[in-house]
């Protein structure tokens, strides 16, 4: 098989949205078009229903489903598409951040009535940082929503990216008639139904009298006016700018009514990138490089406490991955062979013999892997560390059973390797601080320590605002700062210095007083 062709036809991406915007529905419809599923309703939502937050066992059970739906691969029009699922619950945002390091592009789903919501804004920050190309799908056009021009302004402002509509709605809500597809020059007509697919009419140009016949005079006049405005305000769509993460094309549709979804997919396969080169500490790895290389971006623990088995998700960055071939685990220096690697097609996972750059393989593991680990055919490479973002909630973790100190130590270490939360050690008093993005994780950690390691922990309150990784060319100033802020200095898992600011004010003052020091809110800088 020609490896270059295999790479060229791969599209690996994630769909991100605020909960309830329609990610699950859109994913399902994409799978329907790929022939990967045959009936609507077949995709189990990985979304955590509105359970009480303390009911996290239920949440974990629902998350269990997500092993199968973590990666959904399907074939469409000669392309191999891999959708990486991201957890809907915001307490698992850290998982989503890491998943974004394994994708080559992103589709953002926005609810036409709600516009840009908090979680989308946060996730977009990660895309911007990594210059990930994004396409925006404005969903739920069948409902009364915001004015589309206002929405575009909001998208630009809130997501801090230039936008370019590639389809344009004719009304919205109950009067929604469909869209003018700017990308393909068609009129896509809306029928409110879950089963029927968009009806398409080829249009030579926006002045074609055909449009009046179909949508009526009034709506045609409005459409022409809108189009004139769009052409005046937004420059022509430039694929290169999209690939550089500078401009986001926007589509309007309704996932529930399977409207605008195929059109989105058809444009996506044409413009979205195939696997890109990836930086390592040693060199840039190109997908076409002959040797296999990949990195672990997610570890899914088995909830059965008797078997500490997990699945490590590896994104293939170069070469061909083969079953039963020896690969080097760079951190330990050990050679490893995998007899049952799994690939993900539709919602099934099955053992694969080979996989290509852009693909994700699931490797059964019993605790050898850490998030961010590199595997290669033998070359010593280290993919740049996956970014850690400053947690939002911090607590001291204390041992509640002196007889089980060792178990607690081991449990904490393994859970942190799995990426459940981040640990910092205070340089002042040596106490361990656990930081998370959601309250839920503290319950998850406590429960898992007890059930998987027999260790008991207790949380003690700690009021902190942010963890900032500090850096400076001025060694003296750095030492000076660390001395002055000794009480608030901690060390992260890589041994880096982290300033634990207890308020926004304190942070601002520190930034002002120490201009030679840079304060980073993510460990990737």
Q: Tell whether the torsion through CA atoms of 257, 262, 265 and 271 is positive or negative.
A: negative
* Distance, CA of 299 to chain centre: 15
The Cα–Cα gap between 296 and 132 comes to 19
CB of 414 to ligand G4P, least distance (A): 30
Q: Return the range that interacts with ligand G4P (CB under 6 A); candidates 21-29, 122-130, 150-158, 332-340.
A: 21-29
Selected binder of ligand G4P within 9, 44, 47, 496 (CB under 6 A): 47
Tokens of 350: 């099955």
Q: Tell whether the torsion through CA atoms of 216, 217, 218 and 223 is positive or negative.
A: positive
Please work out, in degrees rounded to the nearest 5, the angle formed at the alpha carbon of residue 66 by the alpha carbons of 446 and 382. Answer: 80
Selected binder of ligand G4P within 19, 305, 364, 385 (CB under 6 A): 19
CB of 260 to ligand G4P, least distance (A): 9
CB of 187 to ligand G4P, least distance (A): 19
Q: Are 360 and 102 in contact (CB under 8 A)?
A: yes
Sheet holding 497-501, edge to edge: 457-461, 393-399, 432-436, 422-426, 489-491, 497-501, 466-471, 518-520
Q: Are 11 and 80 in contact (CB under 8 A)?
A: yes
Interacting positions 408-427 with ligand G4P (CB under 6 A) = none
DSSP assignment of 203-265 equals: -S-TT-THHHHHH-HHHHHHHHHHHHHHHHHSPPP-HHHHHTTSEEEEEE-BTTTTBSHHHHH
CB of 360 to ligand G4P, least distance (A): 20
The Cα–Cα gap between 250 and 255 comes to 14
CB of 29 to ligand G4P, least distance (A): 9
Selected binder of ligand G4P within 21, 107, 179, 330 (CB under 6 A): 21
Residue 16's DSSP bridge partners are 108
CB of 47 to ligand G4P, least distance (A): 4
Please work out, in degrees rounded to the nearest 5, the angle formed at the alpha carbon of residue 347 by the alpha carbons of 27 and 440. Answer: 75
Nearer to ligand G4P, 19 or 454 (CB): 19
Selected binder of ligand G4P within 44, 45, 154, 277 (CB under 6 A): 45
Selected binder of ligand G4P within 48, 159, 163, 256 (CB under 6 A): 256
CB of 225 to ligand G4P, least distance (A): 26
Tokens of 503: 């308020």
The Cα–Cα gap between 394 and 426 comes to 12
> Dihedrals φ, ψ of 72, to 5°?
-125, 115
CB of 491 to ligand G4P, least distance (A): 38
Q: Return the range that interacts with ligand G4P (CB under 6 A); candidates 224-232, 253-261, 397-405, 431-439.
A: 253-261
- Check binding of 63 to ligand G4P (CB under 6 A): no
Nearer to ligand G4P, 253 or 357 (CB): 253
Interacting positions 83-112 with ligand G4P (CB under 6 A) = 88
CB of 37 to ligand G4P, least distance (A): 15
Q: Tell me the residue ranges of DSSP E strands in 258-391.
A: 278-279, 284-285, 293-301, 310-318, 321-322, 326-329, 334-337, 342-345, 348-351, 354-355, 360-365, 374-376
Interacting positions 440-499 with ligand G4P (CB under 6 A) = none
Selected binder of ligand G4P within 254, 342, 347, 436 (CB under 6 A): 254
Q: Are 108 and 158 in contact (CB under 8 A)?
A: no
Q: Write each residue from 142 to 181 as x if it is in contact with ligand G4P (CB under 6 A), else as -, in one continuous string.
A: xx--------------------------------------
Selected binder of ligand G4P within 107, 116, 206, 255 (CB under 6 A): 255
Q: Return the range that interacts with ligand G4P (CB under 6 A); candidates 19-27, 396-404, 433-441, 470-478.
A: 19-27
Sheet holding 167-170, edge to edge: 167-170, 178-181, 186-189, 199-202
| Residue bearing tokens 């041992």 | 399
Per rule CB under 6 A, count of chain residues that contact ligand G4P: 19
Nearer to ligand G4P, 23 or 298 (CB): 23
- Check binding of 25 to ligand G4P (CB under 6 A): yes
CB of 331 to ligand G4P, least distance (A): 35
Residue 11's DSSP bridge partners are 81
- Check binding of 17 to ligand G4P (CB under 6 A): yes
Q: Kind of pairing, strands 497-501 and 466-471?
A: antiparallel
Nearer to ligand G4P, 65 or 227 (CB): 65
- Check binding of 22 to ligand G4P (CB under 6 A): yes
Selected binder of ligand G4P within 13, 14, 16, 24 (CB under 6 A): 24
Q: Kind of pairing, strands 293-301 and 374-376?
A: antiparallel
CB of 42 to ligand G4P, least distance (A): 12
Q: Are 227 and 206 in contact (CB under 8 A)?
A: yes
Selected binder of ligand G4P within 7, 11, 14, 23 (CB under 6 A): 23
Nearer to ligand G4P, 47 or 482 (CB): 47
Q: Return the range that interacts with ligand G4P (CB under 6 A); candidates 18-26, 31-39, 184-192, 226-234.
A: 18-26
- Check binding of 43 to ligand G4P (CB under 6 A): no
Q: Write each residue from 129 to 148 as x if it is in contact with ligand G4P (CB under 6 A), else as -, in one continuous string.
A: ----------xx-xx-----
CB of 69 to ligand G4P, least distance (A): 11
Contacts with 144 (C-beta within 8 Å, 6 or more apart), sequence order: 113, 172, 173, 174
Which residues lie near ligand G4P (CB under 6 A)?
A: 17, 19-25, 45, 47, 88, 139-140, 142-143, 254-257
């Amino acid at each position: 098989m020609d490896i270059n062709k295999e790479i060229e036809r791969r599209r690996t991406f994630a769909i991100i949205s605020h909960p309830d915007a329609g990610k699950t529905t859109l994913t399902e419809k994409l799978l329907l078009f790929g022939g990967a599923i045959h009936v609507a309703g077949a995709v189990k939502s990985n979304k955590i229903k509105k359970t009480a937050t303390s009911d996290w066992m239920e949440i974990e059970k629902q998350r269990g489903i997500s092993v199968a739906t973590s990666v959904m691969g399907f074939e469409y029009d000669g392309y191999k598409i891999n959708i990486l699922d991201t957890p809907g619950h915001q307490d698992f945002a850290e998982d989503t951040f890491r998943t974004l390091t394994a994708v080559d592009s992103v589709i953002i789903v926005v609810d036409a009535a709600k516009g840009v919501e908090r979680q989308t804004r946060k996730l977009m920050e990660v895309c911007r940082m990594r210059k990930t190309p994004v396409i925006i799908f404005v969903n739920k056009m069948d409902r009364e929503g915001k004015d589309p021009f206002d929405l575009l302004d909001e998208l630009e402002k809130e997501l801090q990216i230039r936008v370019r509509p590639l389809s344009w709605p004719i009304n919205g809500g109950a009067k929604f008639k469909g869209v003018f597809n700017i990308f393909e020059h068609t009129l896509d007509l809306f029928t409110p139904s879950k089963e029927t697919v968009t009806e398409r009419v080829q249009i030579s140009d926006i002045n074609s009298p055909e449009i009046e016949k179909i949508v009526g005079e009034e709506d045609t006049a409005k459409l022409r006016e809108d189009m004139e405005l769009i052409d005046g305000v937004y420059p022509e769509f430039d694929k290169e700018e999209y690939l550089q993460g500078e401009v986001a094309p926007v589509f309007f549709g309704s996932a529930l009514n399977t409207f605008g979804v195929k059109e989105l997919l058809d444009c996506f396969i044409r413009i979205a990138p195939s696997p890109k080169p990836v930086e390592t500490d040693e060199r840039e790895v190109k997908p076409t490089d002959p040797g296999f290389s990949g990195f672990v971006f997610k570890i899914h623990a088995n909830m059965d406490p008797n078997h500490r088995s997990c699945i490590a998700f590896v994104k293939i960055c170069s070469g061909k991955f083969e079953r039963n071939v020896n690969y080097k685990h760079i951190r330990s220096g050990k050679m490893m062979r995998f007899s049952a690697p799994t690939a993900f097609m539709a919602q099934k996972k099955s053992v694969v013999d080979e996989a290509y750059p852009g693909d994700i393989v699931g490797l059964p593991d019993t605790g050898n892997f850490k998030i961010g680990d590199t595997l290669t055919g033998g070359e010593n490479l280290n993919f740049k560390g996956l970014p850690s973002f400053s947690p939002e909630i911090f607590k001291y973790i204390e041992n509640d059973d002196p007889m089980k100190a060792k178990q607690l130590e081991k449990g904490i270490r393994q859970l942190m390797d799995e990426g459940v939360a981040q640990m910092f050690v205070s340089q002042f008093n040596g106490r361990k601080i656990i930081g998370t993005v959601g309250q839920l994780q503290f319950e998850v950690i406590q429960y898992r320590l007890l059930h998987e390691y027999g260790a008991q922990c207790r949380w003690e309150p700690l009021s902190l605002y942010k963890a900032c990784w500090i850096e400076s060319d001025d060694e003296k100033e750095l030492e000076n700062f660390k001395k002055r802020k000794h009480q608030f200095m901690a060390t992260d898992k890589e041994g880096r210095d982290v300033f634990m600011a207890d308020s926004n004010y304190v942070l601002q003052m520190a930034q002002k007083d120490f201009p030679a020091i840079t304060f980073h809110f993510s460990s990737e800088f």
